[in-house]
Amino acid sequence: STAREIKQREEIESLAFNLERANNRLRQLDKQKSEFVSIASHQLRSPLTSIAGYASLLREGNYGNVPSKMNEPLDRIEQSARLMAESIEDFLNVSRIESGNMKYDFTDFNLREETEHICDDLRGVALRNGLILLFRTDLSGNSIVHADLGKTQQILHNLINNALKYTPKGTITVVVRDDDAKKRIYVDVLDTGIGMNEDTLHSIFQKFERGDKANTVNVKGTGLGLYVALKMAEAMQGTITAHSDGEGKGSRFTLELPRVAS
């Protein structure tokens, strides 16, 4: 039976070898895919800048008077260019995350202040959509975090913009609170919008996942925003959680970051 054992060992070794080869091949393909996305996205970016730039020059009357009839098509060009730029940024972020090329620049900053600024910036957009955007704090200590400021702003923008996108009417409430014992700071983004069922809740942080309801409210998106936001939060020792009591019952998204050690 030693001969049988040797044969078995040979078979196992050959299987392991093939598996290893297949794995290497997959890793290589994955890398090529990331490179392709990155190159394609960079190539799309500059013509897009030119489309948006000329639309804005036209609108500002740099090529002569703009008849009022032309405002709407110019608006549409600008809006589409902005949406496309956002999608491209999402693709680039995914390829940066997957190739390990996402760079984080850690500093200490006040999360409450930053969150309040973003709310002030987005309040106008909310009002134009007939929504109220409220900001509150419920802090027992300071709200200084050690994280990448730009990435944190991007996450908050993403969560609040989603709340605006998926809320046909009502209120968006942003709350900054803390847990002194756990040394964590939380930003809740609560909305009175379309909400999510259990199935949707479980998939939204995955790549390209969009809720079934997302398309019916006619909201454009790539389904990459939350995937990117969660990866960024995790890289900063934080996380993002989502909650909803069900469809039509609003949603709550929470960004959690560690308070800076004092």
H or E element in which residue 255 lies: strand 251-258
CB of 211 to ligand ADP, least distance (A): 2
CB of 225 to ligand ADP, least distance (A): 3
Question: Which residues have C-beta within 8 Å of that of residue 239, sequence separation ≥ 6?
Answer: 230, 233, 255, 256
DSSP letters of 172-225? Answer: EEEEEEEETTTTEEEEEEEE-SS---HHHHHHTTSTT---HHHHHTT----S-H
Which range in 9-17, 27-35, 52-60, 159-167 contacts ligand ADP by CB under 6 A? Answer: 159-167
**Which one, 138 or 212, has the nearer CB to ligand ADP?**
212
163: contact with ligand ADP by CB under 6 A: yes
Is residue 92 a contact partner of residue 222, using CB atoms and an 8 Å limit?
Answer: no
d(CA 225, CA 221): 8
CB of 115 to ligand ADP, least distance (A): 16
Count of H-run helices and E-run strands, the chain: 7, 7
Q: Which of residues 242-261 bind ligand ADP (CB under 6 A)?
A: 251
Residue with the shortest CB distance to ligand ADP = 221
Which range in 58-66, 132-140, 179-187, 221-229 contacts ligand ADP by CB under 6 A? Answer: 221-229
d(CA 110, CA 102): 23
Residues 166-205 as x/- pattern, contact with ligand ADP by CB under 6 A: x------------------------x-xxxx---x---x-
Using CB under 6 A, list all residues that contact ligand ADP. Answer: 162-163, 166, 191, 193-196, 200, 204, 209-211, 214, 221-227, 251
